[in-house]
Amino acid sequence: MLTLPTAKIANEDRSIRSSTGYWVTRLARTMESDFENRLSVHGVSRAACAILSAIANDKKTTPASLASFIGIDAAAMTRHLDRLEEQGLLVRERSTTDRRVVKLKLTRKGSRLVPKLVADSKATNAKFLAGLTSAEKKGLQEIVQKMLANSDLVPEDI
């Protein structure tokens, strides 16, 4: 059977491999796997890393502000905080004036761990950005940000 060039092009257009979403998803999952492997040495998950980093570097010190910032629901946040507290990486401090207010603080152990987690994050990014020019790296971030801006979700929902 003779395959015409137009038929081949049409089939390629229908292939999942012609989907930007397919490639973005593959990249995200592969990067996540690499990062998770690095984090396993420290006994923390990607979510735990995000929480610890947000407390240390983004000054998110309440469960509600963390949940919104990271994009997980309150129940999941509570479970993550329970684990991090059990690991001795953070403490919850109740306000003496308003018992409903809980502030999160890193322990000494948690504070010492965050720079290692940030280094692991940077190492994963460096691995996947290797071979790209500075302009390409900047352009990639700009493209992804533009794509996210097209979403119906607000950044806190992502």
Secondary structure string (H, E, C) spanning the chain: CCCCHHHHHHHHHHCHHHCHHHHHHHHHHHHHHHHHHHHHCCCCCHHHHHHHHHHHHCCCCCHHHHHHHHCCCHHHHHHHHHHHHHCCCEEEEECCCCCCCEEEEECHHHHHHHHHHHHHHHHHHHHHHCCCCHHHHHHHHHHHHHHHHCCCCCHHHC
Write the CATH number for 132. Answer: 1.10.10.10
Judge contact between 110 and 52, C-beta under 8 A: yes
Instruction: Read off the tokens for 84.
Output: 């991090």
- The pLDDT value given to residue 67: 93
Instruction: Read off the tokens for 6.
Output: 């137009």
- The answer to whether residue 128 sits within a structural domain is yes
Distance, CA of 129 to CA of 153 (rounded, Å): 27
pTM above 0.75, yes or no: yes
- The pLDDT value given to residue 157: 52
- The answer to whether residue 5 sits within a structural domain is no
The boundaries of the domain holding residue 88 are 27-153
pLDDT along the chain (158 residues), means of 10: 53 81 95 97 95 96 93 92 97 88 95 97 97 96 91 64
- The pLDDT value given to residue 126: 97
Q: What's the structural domain count of the chain?
A: 1
- The answer to whether residue 10 sits within a structural domain is no
- The answer to whether residue 20 sits within a structural domain is no
- The answer to whether residue 158 sits within a structural domain is no
- The answer to whether residue 21 sits within a structural domain is no
- The pLDDT value given to residue 2: 47
- The answer to whether residue 80 sits within a structural domain is yes
Instruction: Read off the tokens for 13.
Output: 């257009």
- The pLDDT value given to residue 3: 54
